[in-house]
């Protein structure tokens, strides 16, 4: 859970603005880069924490990279275990907070075992049996009541549902597990290179989206970034986080809009093309059936359980900011966990980027 004080948040935002403004326009001319004989296109992934940046990049590794070999899969094991422990820690804690009864008396011993053991396999086994207890499942069903302080990751249910497989000693993560894994990105990860064809290579950079991590965006944005994919978790319209003093609640979608505005307000970003990904379509679709966006965004006008109306509203929140800065922006509705969806969307994005890139070099023959 990402908790910072208001002051900290304001400081970070103003620092982001100042640093961005420092760059002189003469320094920001985007220069095409060449590595050997290939044209290199740099793409930076931005967006608040949990929006799907790393998932998109891992999906690219599957579609346009070499996927994950066994060694790599093995390396992901602790991370996947941590996804299980993160959710189980919260469920056990909230069990007592919500005063929900366990279904089975044996679960009490399992909780003790889970809490006290330092052995990964013992903890996994305990988690596996605990998840079968209806009391624990009930705590999970109440997750929206405590998500402001103890957020349960989007794919937590997937990992709990696959605990039989994951808790096996010989477990080797499947591609789907790696795609769905939550891994808090710290710092700027190295560039992932994808050879799209003989002539073009995409260099995609993923960064941490947490508040304290956003300072690092400055260094990257000063780095002649021509193309930015800004990712938004559409399902966050009814989700909040608390600041350290526990007084104010901040809407996560509003936070993403604010961060986007901060970036747009910087004049030296004028050479950067933004592509908006409205992500987590699957979660969003389920959510709008029971959660009314008007309760969180009173200015919403439309039918609250209409996928199209709510999507248009969210999309327009971002487009109006881009437009007020005279910027054109492309957007796509995405589901980063869905390989086919990302394959198709990236193909469209790639073609558009190539068109713009070669046009800027004066190489496009119309
Ligand atoms: N169901 C679903 N989960 C998603 C989608 N995109 C990302 N996630 C999950 O959301 C969590 C956070 O994603 P991540 O890529 O780590 O976000 P980041 O902080 O922006 O890098 C992970 O568990 C992902 O598997 C999506 O479109 N649908
Ligand atoms: Mg990440």
The verdict on the CB of residue 256 being under 6 Å from ligand 1 is no
- Check residues 337 and 211 and name the one with the higher pLDDT: 337
Tell me if 89 CB under 6 Å of ligand 1.
no
CB proximity list for 273: less than 8 A, separation 6 or greater: 226, 227, 228, 329, 353, 356
Residue having the nearest C-alpha atom to atom 2 of ligand 1 = 280
- Measuring CA to CA, which residue among 237, 229, 260 is closest to residue 314? 237
Ligand 1 site, residue 51, Cβ cutoff 6 A: yes
Residue 318 near residue 232 (C-beta atoms within 8 A): yes
Mutate to test the pocket of ligand 1, among 84, 233, 281, 336 (most ligand atoms within 8 A of CB): 336
Locus of tokens 């996994």: 124
**Which residues, at least 6 apart from 85, have a Cβ–Cβ distance to it below 8 Å?**
123, 127
Structure tokens at 53: 């940046």
Q: What pLDDT score does 223 carry?
A: 66
User: What mean pLDDT, rounded, does the chain reach?
Assistant: 86
**pLDDT, tens only, 16-52:** 444 344 443 434 444 445 555 788 999 999 999 999 9
- Alpha carbons within 13 angstroms on the beta-carbon side of residue 199 total 3
76: DSSP letter: T
DSSP string computed for 153-193: PTTHHHHHHTHHHHTSTT----HHHHHH------SBPPPEE
Domain spanning 77-172: CATH 1.10.400.10? yes
CA of 146 to the centre of ligand 1 (A): 20
Radius of gyration over alpha carbons of the chain, in Å?
Answer: 22
Residue partners of 116: CB distance under 8 A and separation at least 6: none
Q: What's the rounded Cα separation, in Å, for the pair 314 and 286?
A: 16
DSSP characters for 89-103?
A: HHHHHHHHHTTPPPS
Q: φ and ψ at 239, to 5 degrees?
A: -115, 140
Tokens standing for 5?
A: 């004080």
Mean pLDDT for the stretch of residues 340-346: 97
Mean pLDDT of 117-131: 98
Specify the pLDDT at position 169. Answer: 96
- Which tokens in the block code for residue 323? 């437009």
Residue 194 φ then ψ, to 5°: -125, 115
The tokens for 278 are 């409205």
Compute the C-alpha angle 312/230/69, nearest 5°: 120
Are residues 167 and 121 in contact, defined by beta-carbon separation less than 8 angstroms? yes
52 lines ligand 1 (CB under 6 A): yes
pLDDT digits (tens, 9 = 90+) for 68-109: 999 999 999 999 999 999 999 999 999 999 999 999 999 999
Cβ 9 under 6 angstroms from ligand 1: no
Three-state SS at 44: strand
Q: What are phi and psi of 75, to 5 degrees?
A: -65, -25
Quick check: CB of 128 below 6 Å from ligand 1?
Answer: no
3-state secondary structure of 259: helix
Confidence of residue 266 (pLDDT cuts 50, 70, 90): confident
Domains of the chain: which residue ranges? Answer: 6-68+185-360, 77-172
Of the given ranges (182-186, 226-230, 238-242), which has the lowest mean pLDDT?
A: 182-186
**What pLDDT is stored for residue 328 in this prediction?**
85
Q: Using a 6 Å cutoff on CB, does residue 287 contact ligand 1?
A: no
Per-residue pLDDT, 119: 97
d(CA 266, CA 355): 25
Q: Residue 212 Cα, ligand 2 centroid: separation in angstroms?
A: 13
CATH no. of 6-68+185-360: 3.40.50.300
- Global pTM? 0.88
Under the banding of pLDDT at 50, 70 and 90, the label for residue 126 is very high
**pLDDT tens readout for residues 197-209:** 778 899 998 887 6
């Amino acid at each position: 859970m990402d908790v910072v004080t208001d002051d900290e948040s304001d400081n970070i935002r103003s620092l982001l603005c100042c640093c961005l403004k420092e760059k002189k326009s003469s320094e920001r001319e985007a220069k095409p880069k060449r590595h050997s004989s290939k044209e290199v296109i740099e793409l930076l992934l931005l967006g608040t924490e949990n929006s799907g940046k790393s998932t998109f990049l891992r999906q690219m590794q599957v579609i346009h990279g070499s996927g994950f070999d066994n060694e790599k899969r093995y390396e992901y094991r602790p991370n996947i275990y941590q996804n299980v422990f993160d959710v189980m820690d919260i469920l056990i804690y909230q069990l007592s907070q919500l005063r929900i009864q366990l279904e089975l008396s044996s679960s009490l011993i399992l909780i003790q075992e889970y809490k006290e053991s330092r052995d990964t396999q013992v903890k996994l086994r305990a988690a596996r049996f605990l998840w079968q207890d209806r009391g624990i499942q009930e705590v999970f069903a109440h997750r929206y009541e405590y998500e402001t302080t103890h957020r349960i990751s989007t794919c937590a249910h997937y990992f709990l549902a696959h605990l039989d497989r994951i808790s096996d000693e010989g477990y080797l993560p499947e591609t789907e597990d790696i795609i769905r894994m939550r891994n808090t990105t710290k710092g700027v990860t190295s560039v992932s290179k994808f050879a799209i064809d003989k002539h073009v290579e995409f260099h995609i950079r993923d960064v941490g989206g947490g508040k304290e991590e956003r300072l690092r965006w400055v260094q990257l944005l000063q780095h002649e970034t021509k193309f930015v994919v800004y990712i938004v978790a559409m399902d966050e319209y009814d989700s909040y986080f608390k600041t350290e003093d526990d007084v104010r609640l901040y809407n996560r979608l509003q936070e993403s809009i604010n961060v986007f505005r901060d970036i747009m307000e910087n004049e030296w970003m004028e050479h950067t093309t933004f592509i908006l990904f409205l992500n987590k379509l699957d979660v969003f679709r389920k959510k709008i059936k029971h959660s009314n966006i008007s309760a969180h965004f009173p200015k919403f006008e439309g039918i609250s359980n209409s996928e199209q109306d709510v999507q248009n509203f969210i999309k327009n929140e971002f487009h109006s900011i881009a437009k007020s800065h005279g910027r054109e922006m492309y957007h796509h509705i995405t589901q980063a966990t869905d390989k086919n969806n990302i394959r198709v969307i990236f193909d469209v994005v790639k073609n558009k980027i190539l068109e713009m890139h070669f046009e800027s070099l004066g190489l496009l023959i119309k």
